[in-house]
């Protein structure tokens, strides 16, 4: 009895502070944001209840629509790019090569750097170095190309983590399965297509969902590279929420945007997991 | 089907370890040959070189008349059964077996025929649309076999295929593999560390130790005429008894007991100059008798020893005792009255004493 009480006390001692912190800094703002989304609060001063007004307006606001278009374009292209590149990298780094650990370390560095730092470095590259080489204007200043620059930066940084996940995935495939397959006549592309890829499908799922979620929430890179420009062509949803919510006097309206965005991300992640899980082979 | 020829094969791993030394073997078409030896002796390495999964450091490997040293695994026309089966976890049993043929673009109906035929032989018809994880160990083992059979290769390679099964299933599968060999008329190289498995399956057995072939022979010859101390000790269970003895020109003397040996054996020893020298004598437990009982063979002089362990093996009794500084055992009839601590009078079957050189460990006479 006594030991059970003691365990209970330990349990409470540890969990209550965390629960309070989580509630204070996560749940409470969430609830407050949800409440504000039904007001015309500008971030300061007085406000009135507007009911579903903000939500209705969201669907007609062209700037919001624009940000959704940009964000999804970026997320889909980046997710595909990141997965393809990191899978190739993982296959290379998993092969019998020299200095394997060294290369693995080097390729992981981008993940350690903060997104803002990476963003500013690339901003420098895009603004000064690349134009000097190509004698063209900076990509960041071109409304048709700025989003590509952001895809590149996002991918460059995310590939590190995805590669790491793929490498551990590749290591779950038993060596003798590869050997059996090579005796059966599967080498090169056939080996990858029929054996390796299906067997690392769980890792493809994880990577796709993580990449998609991270890319949908892209913020730091945009802050560092374009601040949403040129001509709002790189305004991601998160950036718009932050920018117009905090500085643009649309706190209530952008809170509604955030609520919808939250639901969208949850729905997408769940659907992805469902869909990819079905494709995942029962191992 | 085809024979194989391994000529002066060596394997040196990148870390410098030499795992196989000067391996020489001609394997006839349709032969069932076994590589046996303690774990780490280089059996798998040799098999994997034949499969093309390891490079051959030195020597020539021929399958049929073709030198295949530099031929890729998939073009060697061999199939391998792995110790852990190495089934494709994401494919159904059907697809596991059909995989190789599919890659070769074999027509669908031909694949179907081959797979169903193999499934019938191996009694896997009911599980064809399951996945490996849904099968028992024995069934997985059979799928691994089936995957090899379907390909109808020139040579089957099997690396300890039964070692993950329980004892009963192992005996059962052993019989099935023997049947399979007759039925397929295939050349099979079979690796095992279990000498019982080797003795019951093979028509010819290669005994290996530390990467070196010790003896290549029929089961009977390995048992009756082992080349050296290692083979004598490795083949047969329980192990052969060994003790040091002096050869006095006619008898082997140990612990003051004179064991007479047949005249022709004595003369061989004499000829080879062992008179007055120490040799190692070997006698199998079944050739050690309780000298108080009737025996159908000619016994040596009896000696007394104290029984240290008594083991009932069902139809027989195994008695352990110490003699001439060695621990020895005797297989006696179930009617033995001996108990631990009793002093029993033992004798050897005179004809069944093997004599080995003490230095080279090679057999002198059997
Ligand atoms: N890739 C390798 N690199 C270095 N040594 C190895 C390698 N594979 C096996 N060996 C060594 O070679 C010897 C023979 O191994 P193996 O052929 O697997 O033995 P077994 O007879 O048990 O099948 C062992 O001592 C093992 O440690
Ligand atoms: Mg082995």
One-letter-per-residue 3-state SS of B327-354 = EEEEEEECCCCCCCCCEEEEEEEHHHCE
- Distance, CA of A199 to CA of B131 (rounded, Å): 13
Q: Which atom of ligand 1 lies closest to the CA of B159? A: 23
Residue A42 has pLDDT above 90, yes or no: no
CA dist B125 → A140, B93, B176 (Å): 63, 10, 17
Question: Which has the closest alpha carbon to A119: A152, A77, A162, A73?
Answer: A152
pLDDT in tens, A16-35: 999 999 999 989 988 988 88
Would you tell me how many other CB atoms lie within 10 Å of the CB of residue B105? Answer: 7
Question: Which residues in chain A have their CB less than 8 angstroms from residue B103's CB?
Answer: 184-186, 190, 194
Which residues in chain B (94-153) have CB-CB distances under 8 A to chain A? Answer: 99-100, 103-104, 131, 133, 147, 151
Q: Which residues are registered as beta bridge partners of B306?
A: B343
Q: Is B25 exposed, middle or buried (0-12, 13-18, 19+ CB in 10 A)?
A: middle
* pLDDT level of residue A1 (50, 70, 90 thresholds): low
Write out the E strands in A134-175: none
Task: Provide the pLDDT for residue A64.
Answer: 87
Q: Are the CB atoms for A206 and A168 separated by under 8 Å?
A: no
Going by pLDDT thresholds of 50, 70 and 90, the confidence category of residue A105 is confident
Please name the member of B74, B78, B80 whose beta carbon is closest to the beta carbon of A187. B74
Mean per-residue pLDDT over chain A, rounded: 86
Cα separation, A70 vs A154, in Å, equals: 14
Instruction: Give residue B1's pLDDT.
Output: 60
pLDDT for residue A55: 87
pLDDT > 70 fraction of chain A, expressed in percent and rounded: 98
> Which residue, among B187, B106, B177, B182, has the nearest Cα to B154 in the 3D structure?
B187
Beta carbons of B90 and A179 less than 8 Å apart: no
- Higher pLDDT: A36 or B207? It is B207
Report the residue of chain B nearest A185, measured CA to CA: B74
Report the distance separating Cα A139 and Cα A128, nearest Å. Answer: 11
The ipTM (two decimal places) reads 0.83
More confident residue, A54 or B23: B23
Distance between CA B318 and CA B55 in Å, rounded? 46
In chain A, residues with a C-beta closer than 8 Å to the C-beta of B73 are 179, 182-183
Cα A125 to Cα A147, A153, B257: the distances in Å are 15, 11, 95
pLDDT value, residue A274? 83
The yes-or-no verdict on residue A51 having pLDDT over 90 is no
- Please tell me the distance from the alpha carbon of residue B199 to that of residue B211, in angstroms, as a whole number: 20
Does A256 reach chain B within 8 Å, measured CB to CB?
Answer: no
β-strand B4-12 against B58-63: which pairing, if any? antiparallel
Q: Which atom of ligand 1 is nearest to the CA of B191?
A: 23
CA distance A179 to chain B (A): 7
Q: Which of A131-135, A186-190, B323-327 has the lowest mean pLDDT?
A: A131-135
Mean pLDDT over residues A48-63, rounded? Answer: 84
Q: Give me the residue label for tokens 């093996």.
A: B313
Hunting for tokens 């199939």 — which residue is that?
Answer: B79
Q: Using CB atoms within 10 A of its CB, is residue A47 exposed (0-12), middle (13-18) or buried (19+)?
A: middle
Distance B144 CA to ligand 2 centre (A): 17
Contact at 8 Å (CB) between B147 and B96? yes
Distance A190 CA to ligand 1 centre (A): 29
Q: Is the peptide bond before B238 cis (omega within 30 degrees of 0)?
A: yes
* Chain B residues touching residue A183 (CB < 8 angstroms): 51-53, 73-74, 78-80, 100
Instruction: Tell me the C-alpha distance between A162 and A207, whole Å.
Output: 6
Assign A279 a pLDDT band (cuts: 50, 70, 90). low
Residue nearest to atom 4 of ligand 1 (CA): B13
Rounded CA gap, A266 and A216, in Å?
11
Ligand at shortest distance from the CA of B46: 1
Task: Say what the pTM is.
Answer: 0.82
For ligand 1, atom 16, the nearest C-alpha belongs to B42
Rounded distance between C-alpha atoms, residue A282 and residue B137, angstroms? 18
Q: What is the largest CA-CA distance in chain A?
A: 79
Q: Give the C-alpha separation, A162 to A213, whole Å.
A: 13
Task: State how far the Cα of B79 lies from the Cα of B155, in Å rounded to an integer.
Answer: 7
Give pLDDT, residue A53.
83
Rounded CA-CA distance B240/B236 in Å is 7
Size of chain B, expressed as the number of residues it contains: 366
Q: What is the whole-number distance in angstroms between the Cα of residue B42 and the centre of ligand 1?
A: 6
**pLDDT of A113 above 90:** no
pLDDT band at A48 (very low <50, low <70, confident <90, very high): confident
What average pLDDT values come out for chain B (366 residues) when binned by 10 residues? Answer: 89 94 94 94 95 94 92 91 93 94 93 92 91 91 92 92 87 88 89 92 92 95 94 92 92 90 91 92 93 84 92 88 91 84 91 93 93
How confident is the model over A63-81, as a mean pLDDT? 92
CB contact under 8 A, A184 and B103: yes
Residue B47 CA: nearest ligand 1 atom is 17
Class of domain A62-282: mainly alpha
* Contact criterion met (CB below 8 Å) for B317 and B332: yes
**Burial per residue of A195-211, b for 16 or more beta-carbon CB atoms within 10 angstroms, e otherwise:** bbebbbbebbbbbbbbb
For the CA of B20, the nearest atom of ligand 1 = 14
Measured distance CA(A237)–CA(A235) in Å, rounded: 7
| Top mutation candidate among B12, B18, B19, B192 for ligand 1, by most atoms within 8 Å of CB | B19
First to last CA, chain B: 37
* Residue among B358, B109, B103 nearest B252 (CA): B358
Q: Do A179 and B53 touch (CB under 8 A)?
A: yes
Beta-carbon contacts below 8 Å between A and B: 69
- What pLDDT is stored for residue A140 in this prediction? 77
CA of B43 to the centre of ligand 2 (A): 6
Q: Does residue A136 surpass a pLDDT of 80?
A: no
Asked if B73 reaches chain A (Cβ–Cβ under 8 Å), the answer is yes
Which residues have C-beta atoms less than 6 Å from ligand 1? Answer: B 13, 15, 17, 19, 37, 39-45
């Amino acid at each position: 009895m006594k030991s059970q009480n003691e365990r209970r006390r330990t349990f409470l001692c540890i969990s209550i502070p965390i629960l309070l912190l989580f509630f204070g800094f996560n749940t409470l703002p969430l609830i407050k944001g949800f409440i504000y989304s039904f007001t015309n609060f500008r971030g300061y001063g007085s406000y009135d209840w507007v009911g579903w007004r903000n939500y209705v307006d969201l669907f007609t606001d062209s700037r919001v629509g624009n940000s959704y278009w940009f964000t999804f374009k970026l997320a889909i292209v980046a997710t595909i790019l990141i997965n393809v590149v990191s899978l190739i990298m993982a296959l290379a780094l998993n092969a019998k090569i020299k200095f394997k650990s060294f290369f693995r370390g080097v390729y992981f560095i981008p993940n350690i750097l903060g997104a803002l730092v990476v963003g500013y470095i690339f901003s420098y590259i895009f603004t000064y170095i690349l134009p000097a080489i190509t004698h063209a204007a900076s990509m960041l200043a071109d409304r048709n190309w700025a989003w590509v620059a952001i895809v590149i930066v996002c991918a460059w940084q995310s590939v590190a983590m995805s590669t790491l996940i793929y490498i551990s995935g590749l290591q779950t495939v038993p060596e003798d399965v590869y050997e059996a397959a090579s005796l059966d006549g599967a080498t090169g592309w056939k080996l990858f297509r029929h054996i390796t890829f299906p067997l690392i499908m769980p890792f493809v799922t994880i990577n796709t969902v993580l990449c998609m979620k991270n890319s949908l929430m892209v913020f730091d890179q945009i802050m560092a590279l374009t601040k949403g420009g040129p001509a709002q062509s790189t305004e991601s949803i998160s950036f718009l929420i932050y920018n117009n919510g905090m500085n643009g006097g649309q706190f209530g309206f952008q809170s509604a945007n955030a609520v919808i965005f939250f639901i969208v991300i949850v729905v997408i992640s769940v659907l992805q997991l469902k869909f990819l899980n079905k494709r995942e082979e029962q191992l | 089907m085809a024979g194989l020829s391994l000529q002066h094969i060596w394997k040196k791993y990148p870390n410098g370890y030499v795992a196989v030394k000067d391996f020489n073997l001609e394997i006839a078409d349709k032969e069932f040959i076994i590589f046996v030896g303690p774990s780490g002796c280089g059996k798998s390495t040799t098999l994997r070189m034949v499969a093309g999964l390891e490079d051959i450091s030195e020597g020539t490997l021929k399958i049929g008349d073709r030198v295949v040293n530099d031929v890729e695994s998939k073009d060697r026309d061999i199939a391998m059964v792995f110790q852990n089966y190495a089934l494709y976890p994401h494919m159904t049993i059907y697809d596991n077996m059909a995989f190789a043929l599919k890659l070769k673009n074999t027509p669908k109906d031909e694949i179907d025929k081959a797979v169903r035929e193999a499934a019938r032989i191996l009694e896997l018809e009911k599980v064809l649309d399951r996945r490996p994880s849904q099968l028992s160990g024995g069934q997985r083992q059979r799928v691994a076999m089936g995957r090899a059979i379907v390909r109808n290769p020139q040579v089957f390679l099997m690396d300890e295929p039964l070692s993950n099964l329980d004892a009963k299933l192992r005996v059962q599968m052993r019989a099935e593999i023997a049947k399979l060999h007759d039925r397929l008329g295939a050349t099979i190289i079979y690796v095992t560390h279990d000498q019982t498995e080797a003795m019951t399956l093979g028509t010819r057995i290669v005994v290996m130790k530390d990467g070196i072939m010790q003896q290549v022979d029929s089961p009977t010859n390995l048992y009756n005429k082992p080349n050296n101390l290692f083979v004598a000790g490795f083949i047969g269970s329980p192990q052969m008894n060994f003790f040091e003895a002096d050869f006095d020109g006619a008898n082997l003397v140990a612990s003051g007991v004179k064991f007479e040996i047949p005249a022709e054996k004595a003369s061989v020893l004499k000829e080879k100059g062992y008179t007055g020298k120490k040799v190692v004598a070997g006698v199998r437990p079944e050739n050690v008798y309780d000298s108080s009982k009737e025996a159908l063979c000619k016994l040596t002089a009896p000696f007394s020893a104290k029984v240290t362990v008594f083991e009932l093996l069902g139809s027989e009794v195994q008695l352990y005792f110490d003699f001439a500084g060695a621990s020895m055992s005797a297989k006696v009839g179930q009617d033995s009255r001996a108990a631990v601590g009793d002093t029993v009078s033992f004798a050897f079957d005179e004809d069944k004493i093997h004599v080995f050189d003490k230095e080279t460990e090679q057999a002198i006479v059997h």
